Structure 1
Amino acid sequence: MHKTIIISLLSALFLQIPDAGAQSKKDRFLISMYGPPAAKYLNEEQFKVIKDGNIDIIINVGPGVEQDKAGNTKTLDMAQKFGLKVYIYDARVNQSDDQIKAMVNDFKSHPALAGYYVLDEPDTAKLASAIEMQKKVKALDPAKDAYINHLPDWAIDPKENYEHSFLPRYIEGVGKDKLNYLAYDNYPYKRGHRLEKTYFNNLEIIRRVGLKYNVKTSSCLQSFGMGFKGVVELRRPNADEMRMNVYSNLAYGVKNPVWYTYYTQDNLTPNFTMYKCVIDSAGVKTDMYEPFKKLNGEMKQLGKTLINLDAVEVYHTGDSLWLGTTRPPDQFMAKVSDPKAQTILSRFKDKSSGKQYLMVVNRNFNRSQPLTIRLDSSVKKVKEVSKQTGKTVKAPYDAKANTISQTFMPGEGKLFVIN
């Protein structure tokens, strides 16, 4: 079955479950997740597990989640105890102006409120109404986020150009100053060992549009798999695949990664199967939890720097390139010694100081790669941003040869300060 149909089925089953978005009063790098534990597991033990997993924001949408006033309030209260924030979802957001106002008034003063989940994946026909809905919610509570998550380019009516019409129509319609994030989803890991062919192309489009409008970007990370009638449509990612998903998003400048989904719902329909996610349907950690926790911890540390950087150039190397990717030009600041090595090279620039950064990602999610990166002769000093502390530390840099040499785990990325 075509992926569009599968995702549509999933969205319908989850009351239009999406994949992204979050906000804080400060401009911070925040990590979100969809699908908190079902109502019967809404307790302190489970919320401690969420907090320990280095999550900042819960999007209160998912199977078994109570989404009325009482259910959202209970989630907000529990989140407050653990220093977490919540995007609430309340069906009144789709109703009359009076109902929308009542919804906002019920939640706007809660200290754990990050924002309101408005809509998931509006298509071309629904975009205008989605914009109006988002504007109404934002006008009632300007301090909080009103969140819409978008489809990838392949799911939009081909008569409307995704980059030059659909996304600009959305950003200009809402107003870029009223948007916390430009959010979208495009899950990379399909059946077998396949990678979604539009994965990097969509990251590149979102990067360019975000830079054009000066809007932070948000993207979903895949922490689920699903099948239909016994056929795997999206495979359940392993730790290495999760790592590549994380670092490729960071390399394209994403400022709000959003895991979809956290909690598992068994037997959604007789024909539809969701494979175990980060937490299984009994509230127990799966083998995904430890890499989920570790990767989130790394993102939080790197995010202290990344939140202030723009990904101004992104290139790929290797024998063959993916849709939407290009090789680095001759004058680029970094060259990979092995032309067959599968890498992503991103040049970042600090918005305030103009300082230059380089992120190197092992695009191969099946094996480690020893990489030697030759830098421009003008480079005098290189430091690495630590994934453990967020501080700069000594880098494996040979100043005489102008090279960085390190082994990268499958899918791993590293961020370097270039002086």
Structure 2
Amino acid sequence: MRFFRSIHCLIVVLTLLTSLQVSAQKKKEEFLISIYSPPPAKFLNDKQYQVLKDAYVDILLNIGPGVKSDKEGNLQTLDLARKYGFKVYVFDGRLSLGDDKIREMVSDYKAHPALGGYYITDEPDSARLKSAVDLMNKVKKLDPEKDAYINHLPDWAVNNYEHGFLERYIKLAGKENINYLAYDNYPYKRKQKLEKTYFNNLDIIRRVGLKYNIKTSSCLQSFGMYVSGVEELRRPKADEIRMNVYSNLAYGIKNPVWYPYWTQDNMSSITMSLCVIDSAGVKTDMYEPFRQMNGEMKRLGKTLINLDAQEVYHTGDSLWLGTVRPPADFILKIQDEKADFILSRLVAKSSGEEYVMVVNRSFKQSRKMTFQVKDSVKKMKEISKINGKPVKSSFRAETHQITESFLPGEGKLFQIN
């Protein structure tokens, strides 16, 4: 009997350890990359999903022209996504048909292993915010382990954005129910202009995310758009895509969301440029920069997912709305103060270890730049974009300087010791 009791105790202990291990794995944070407008229903096949897999995508927001958003369409997408290791945020019209239909909807998808969450709504204004959160919370009560996703308007579209809108949203929803504080604000306007609130919006999202300890999410621009024949947003080039990516990372974004992946045709008064994939399922010239940037984000993301962007500064002749120059005692002092750079101090949540990200804010020209490093810094290692590990940088301890070359829009992440 004593022998059997010992065996029983051992089984209990092993079961408990396994349970704790599974729990720890579930809680492990990941840097995830999402897309709007995945392949539509008639292109729901292995070929297109392999193209997505090759580009390091993690999450499919299952909404867009040609995407089947009923039960059958969502389940077909979930099944194929499971095969390729993707998660899907389902979009289902039953969400707006009352409590019974919501319960039915959640029941249909809840157990599927490829389910990442539920797409609730896009860009609710102040008047719609409470009703959007009510739907979100109904879904979360039925499936608390999954995300219930709301994407928000940018700062220029809502009055009192930071305190009267975003903080109201968090208080209504409960911060424990929000996986990502998500929004969109596309930087590349017509006539080579940059959206003037672009950096201000990133900083607001950064501040609110830090205040409430919520991961942040932002849309990346992968389209140009004409409205009634007039260009409103320009199609970004590879260098512009790079700046869009690295400026988001410098501000602590943990879930970049490309909008859109698939080119949308037949949109009445709106004409969209070619996106990552054209409407016939063929890669465009945007695919390779998309794939390359995703690969770099995934590798740097192994470190970035555990870092908070505590301070973000800008250099250059003219500062944008919401940006400030670095203080005299900042970790790095730029040699040419007229050069356009973003300097971000990031701190590891658990260890307090410091990092700095340096971004060439210019998406038009490459730069080679020297920075004077604070005397207290003894070592600087770069986080490799090839394998995500710390590697030797150009830091010289005897002069306390670091000199690096940057492509247009490129960022580099350094570990500080």
* Equivalence for 1:229: 228
Task: Give the aligned length.
Answer: 392
**Superimposed CA distance per residue, residues 261-284 of structure 1 (whole angstroms, 9 cap, x where no aligned partner):** 000022321x32110000000000
* Equivalence for 2:10: none
* Equivalence for 1:50: 52
Structure 2 distance, partners of 1:251, 1:207, is 10
* Equivalence for 2:182: 183
Indicate conservation of the 8 Å contact 1:226/1:236, yes or no: yes
SS of the residue aligned with 1:398?
Answer: coil
* Equivalence for 2:16: none
- Structure 1 position 168, deviation (Å): 0.8
AA in 1 matched with 2:378: K
Indicate conservation of the 8 Å contact 1:248/1:344, yes or no: yes
Residue pairs, 1:192-271, within 5 angstroms: 192-269=191-268, 271=269
* Equivalence for 1:378: 376
Residue pairs, 1:375-414, within 5 angstroms: 375-414=373-412
* Equivalence for 2:128: 126
Residue pairs, 1:310-329, within 5 angstroms: 310-329=308-327
Verify: 1:33 aligned to 2:51, yes or no. no
**Superimposed CA distance per residue, residues 303-344 of structure 1 (whole angstroms, 9 cap, x where no aligned partner):** 000000000000000000000000001111111100111000
Structure 2 distance, partners of 1:405, 1:144, is 44
Structure 2 distance, partners of 1:99, 1:337, is 61
Structure 1 distance, partners of 2:78, 2:371, is 47
Structure 1 distance, partners of 2:123, 2:270, is 21
**Superimposed CA distance per residue, residues 139-191 of structure 1 (whole angstroms, 9 cap, x where no aligned partner):** 000010000000011111x2xx1111211111111111111010000000011
Structure 2 distance, partners of 1:25, 1:376, is 36
* Equivalence for 1:278: 276
- Structure 1 position 131, deviation (Å): 1.1
SS of the residue aligned with 2:214?
Answer: coil
SS of the residue aligned with 1:297?
Answer: helix
Verify: 1:363 aligned to 2:365, yes or no. no
- Structure 1 position 229, deviation (Å): 2.2
SS of the residue aligned with 1:143?
Answer: coil
Structure 1 distance, partners of 2:312, 2:96, is 39
**Superimposed CA distance per residue, residues 347-402 of structure 1 (whole angstroms, 9 cap, x where no aligned partner):** 00001111100000000001101111111011100100001101000011111111
* Equivalence for 2:14: none
* Equivalence for 1:351: 349
SS of the residue aligned with 2:199?
Answer: helix
Structure 2 distance, partners of 1:376, 1:93, is 54
SS of the residue aligned with 1:388?
Answer: coil
Q: TM-score, normalised by structure 1?
A: 0.93
Larger Rg: 2
**Superimposed CA distance per residue, residues 1-41 of structure 1 (whole angstroms, 9 cap, x where no aligned partner):** xxxxxxxxxxxxxxxxxxxxxxx863110000000111111
Indicate conservation of the 8 Å contact 1:267/1:274, yes or no: no
Which of 288, 291, 297 aligns to 2:289? It is 291
User: Gapped runs of 5+ residues in structure 1?
Assistant: 1-23
AA in 2 matched with 1:406: E
Structure 2 distance, partners of 1:236, 1:42, is 26
Structure 2 distance, partners of 1:307, 1:95, is 37
Structure 1 distance, partners of 2:273, 2:67, is 18
SS of the residue aligned with 2:139?
Answer: helix
Structure 1 distance, partners of 2:55, 2:191, is 28
RMSD: 0.8
Structure 1 distance, partners of 2:63, 2:333, is 44
AA in 1 matched with 2:178: L
* Equivalence for 1:17: none
Structure 2 distance, partners of 1:384, 1:226, is 37
SS of the residue aligned with 2:414?
Answer: strand
Structure 1 distance, partners of 2:123, 2:235, is 22
Structure 2 distance, partners of 1:268, 1:166, is 30
Verify: 1:140 aligned to 2:142, yes or no. yes
Structure 1 distance, partners of 2:195, 2:82, is 38
Which of 339, 353, 377 aligns to 1:341? It is 339
Which of 57, 61, 64 aligns to 1:62? It is 64
AA in 1 matched with 2:262: Y
SS of the residue aligned with 2:363?
Answer: coil
Which of 81, 84, 94 aligns to 1:92? It is 94
**Superimposed CA distance per residue, residues 62-96 of structure 1 (whole angstroms, 9 cap, x where no aligned partner):** 11101000000010011011011100000111120
User: Gapped runs of 5+ residues in structure 2?
Assistant: 1-25
SS of the residue aligned with 2:337?
Answer: coil
Structure 1 distance, partners of 2:352, 2:377, is 15
Indicate conservation of the 8 Å contact 1:32/1:259, yes or no: yes
Q: Which runs of 4+ in 1 moved over 3 A?
A: none
* Equivalence for 1:150: 152
Q: TM-score, normalised by structure 2?
A: 0.93
AA in 1 matched with 2:249: L
AA in 2 matched with 1:292: F
- Structure 1 position 294, deviation (Å): 0.4
SS of the residue aligned with 1:72?
Answer: helix
* Equivalence for 1:14: none
Structure 1 distance, partners of 2:383, 2:123, is 35
AA in 2 matched with 1:169: R
* Equivalence for 1:167: 166
